[in-house]
Structure 1
Amino acid sequence: MEVRQMSTAFLFNENKVLLMKKDSSRITETEFWTGLGGHLEPDELNFPKRACIREIFEESGIQEEEIEELKLRYILLRIKDEEIRQQFVYFGKTKRTNYINSEEGELHWIDKDKILELRLSKIVSFMVKHFLENPNKNEIIIGTITINNEESPEIQWSELKDPKIF
């Protein structure tokens, strides 16, 4: 079984979040929305924040010094065929409202209250819903997507905490 690591950013400007509309991906042939991000390069495997900053710049032209409070908020886990996918999700702010579109997809500023109306991957949809319901949480949250007894996707949440075992 292989492991694929990704890093994603959701950048806010007041009540809006910068999202990318993609026509398709390796996962689906239909249009969907996501944050800015992508796969970690080999030299970034221990540095997902570095990968996140690189992806933000590649996909939007927004530079590191234009980003404030970029913080790891979620680690999402899922299995897809013979691959475990681990996604590091960062949330941050920017005062910059203009961007440069890339070949990855179209960027749009979306009202944060409208995000869940968009077609998102199931795990990202669960994460956004959790974030909107828990805006003041500062802990890193682990989300593992699974299937319940009715064969419907569900997510299990856990706070990542150091047990300080000596």
Structure 2
Amino acid sequence: SDGYRSLLDLKYGRMGGGYAIPEFGLAYVRDIRFFDARTDKSRRADMLVSACYCLSGSPQLYKNPPSTEECIINHIAKFRAFIAAAVANTIGDGSNTYLLLGPIGTGAFGNDVNDIGYAFREVLSSKMMGSNDPIRQAFGNIWFVSTDKWKNNRLEKILSEDSISNVE
């Protein structure tokens, strides 16, 4: 994808429709492209980039919350912010909208996969922005994207609980 170039554009002020939400450690970049090297085709997408707390024990720029519960509350607030940004910027009725979620913060940052999964589940199961149904209904598909297959499987299992049906 050209996502990395888009992040550099964001950093150097040539955002082309993107914006940062610094209090949530979040950037929203419009119209990146994903390329399929086999077919030479591309698909446009919007990209939200965020990070969770670094719980690895290494020195950090900001002080982490004092408890796991507070971390989770803050994760949920962050996830609500970026899901709201995704919904607000969806083109059309959302039927052709894919929400791709990564296992945010569960690698080098040391966040627990279950904590992140249940935070995503809580946000996607909630009504937001005046919706009559859970906000997950705003997306045609929800995919998990990780190089660790077990994380994809775990996140899919968590979100499949209580009939969250449009998860792959």
Report which of the two has the higher share of helix.
2
Which has a greater percent of strand? 1
Flag the structure with more relative contact order, 1 or 2, with Cα contacts below 8 A and sequence separation at least 6. Answer: 1
How does the TM-score come out when normalised to structure 2?
A: 0.31
